[in-house]
């Protein structure tokens, strides 16, 4: 019966979310390194009606054409891997189905009788599943949401997500993009295989897969100079490999951060363009209003010219009439003309400012 271990792992998953990451071990030995720089017998390459898997341009590209079921690729390693730190960089393509997802496998037992999967999807969610006796069990979420839970650390679709698992004595810490997510406990597995899972109607690209073991395990032998030198060289080489792998992980994280910033800048530019569009519309409105005002002004000037002409004709009767009504009329019309000109100048100034802002 596996009911008790599964319940125990679920309980510890909940408690670990409250306590934070549990593993403090150091992983200082390179156990496995894959950058997909060249074809390898370790990873399946195939092309058929269901799958198109190729290693190309430093990536392992997996397209699952089948829209019904996922597919699992196991690494063709010489033997199982025990407690370790597993790090992989995976990107899901944008133009795939809404349910597209991919992830990594670890502690996989022979004939898939046991093991774990950590997957990410297009919706910035992740989930952890356990294979127990050939059946999937959710260690995150529930049956209703298929185990998927929100992941603030996940990147937008089309950008790499770095999935990291630390394993020690049945305890597992899960990180996504260097941010701790959760822990769980399952003591049944001591070692197992690793691999990649790609969901139905999904295309994913794997940038690298690294496995770091606990160490260091090499000690120089003091009585034999040659052995000492060889051992020291091996330690040095191992350290360089570790540093290189860590540098790649850090660089990929930095690239992801830059891509995030780039997306934010694109959104900001889009907002600015929308704002500019609004300004452009406002400018057109103001230009239309200005033209209308100019037309009105021209009409007023014609009317005023006519009235002034009439006024000149009436001036000779002014003294005879003994009043100043025509004089008052001219003054009023002059004031109206001045007001209209001031409005025009104000509109022209607003139009000038808006055009400068647009530039």
pLDDT, tens digit, for every residue of 164-188? 999 999 999 999 999 999 999 999 9
pLDDT at site 20 = 72
For residue range 249-286, list pLDDT tens digits in order.
776 676 666 666 666 666 665 666 556 555 566 666 66
Assessment of whether the complete model's pTM goes beyond 0.85? no
Check pLDDT > 60 for residue 82. yes
CA–CA separation, 157 and 170 (whole Å): 32
What is the sign of the dihedral through the CA atoms of 7, 13, 15 and 21?
positive
For the chain, how many residues are written? 359
Tokens found for residue 77: 């390693």
Number of H helices, E strands in the chain: 3, 16
Closest CA to 152 of 229, 39, 260, 273: 260
As a whole number of Å, the end-to-end CA separation of the chain is 72
- Taking phi over 0 as left and psi of -120 to 50 as alpha, with beta for the rest, 134 belongs to left
For residue range 211-258, list pLDDT tens digits in order.
999 865 433 333 444 444 444 444 445 566 666 667 777 766 766 666
CA–CA separation, 37 and 348 (whole Å): 63
Q: What ranges make up the beta strands (E) of the chain?
A: 29-34, 46-47, 51-56, 59-64, 71-74, 85-92, 101-108, 114-121, 125-132, 135-138, 149-150, 161-168, 171-176, 179-185, 193-198, 202-213
CA–CA separation, 129 and 141 (whole Å): 10
Instruction: Compare 242 and 107 and report the one with higher pLDDT.
Output: 107
**Candidate ranges 110-119, 264-273, 291-300; pick with highest mean pLDDT:** 110-119
Q: How many CB atoms lie within 10 A of CB 254?
A: 10
Bond prior to 216 in cis (omega within 30° of 0):
yes
Check pLDDT > 80 for residue 28. yes
Tokens found for residue 140: 């995150």
- Residue 74 half-sphere exposure toward CB, CA atoms < 13 A: 16
């Amino acid at each position: 019966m596996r009911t008790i271990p599964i319940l125990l792992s679920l309980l510890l998953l909940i408690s670990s979310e409250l306590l934070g990451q549990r593993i403090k071990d150091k992983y200082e030995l390179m156990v496995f390194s894959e950058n997909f720089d060249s074809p390898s017998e370790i990873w399946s390459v195939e092309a058929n009606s269901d799958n198109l898997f190729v290693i190309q341009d430093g990536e392992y590209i997996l397209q699952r054409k089948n829209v019904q079921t996922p597919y699992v690729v196991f690494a063709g390693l010489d033997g199982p891997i025990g407690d370790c730190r597993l790090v992989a960089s995976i990107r899901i393509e944008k133009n795939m189905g809404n349910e597209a997802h991919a992830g990594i496998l670890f502690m996989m037992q022979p004939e898939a009788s046991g093991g774990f999967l950590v997957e990410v999807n297009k919706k910035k969610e992740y989930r952890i599943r356990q294979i127990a006796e050939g059946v999937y069990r959710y260690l995150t979420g529930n049956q209703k949401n298929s185990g998927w839970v929100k992941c603030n650390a996940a990147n937008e679709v089309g950008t790499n997500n770095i999935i990291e698992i630390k394993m020690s004595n049945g305890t597992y810490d899960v990180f996504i993009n260097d941010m701790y997510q959760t822990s769980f406990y399952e003591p049944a597995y001591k070692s197992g295989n690793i691999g990649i899972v790609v969901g139905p109607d999904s295309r994913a690209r794997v940038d690298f897969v690294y496995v770091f073991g606990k160490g260091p395990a090499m000690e120089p032998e003091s009585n034999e100079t040659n052995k000492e030198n060889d051992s020291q060289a091996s330690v040095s080489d191992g350290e360089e490999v570790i540093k290189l792998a860590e540098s790649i992980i850090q660089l990929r994280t930095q690239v992801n951060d830059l891509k995030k910033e780039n997306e934010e800048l694109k959104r900001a530019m889009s907002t600015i363009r929308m704002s500019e569009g609004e300004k452009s519309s406002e400018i057109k409105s103001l230009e239309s209003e200005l033209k209308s005002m100019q037309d009105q002004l021209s009409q007023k000037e014609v009317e005023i010219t006519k009235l002034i002409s009439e006024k000149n004709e009436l001036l000779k009767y002014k003294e005879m009439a003994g009043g100043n009504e025509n004089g008052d009329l001219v003054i009023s019309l002059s004031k109206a003309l001045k007001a209209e000109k001031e409005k025009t100048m104000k509109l022209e100034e607003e139009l000038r400012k808006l055009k400068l802002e647009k530039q």
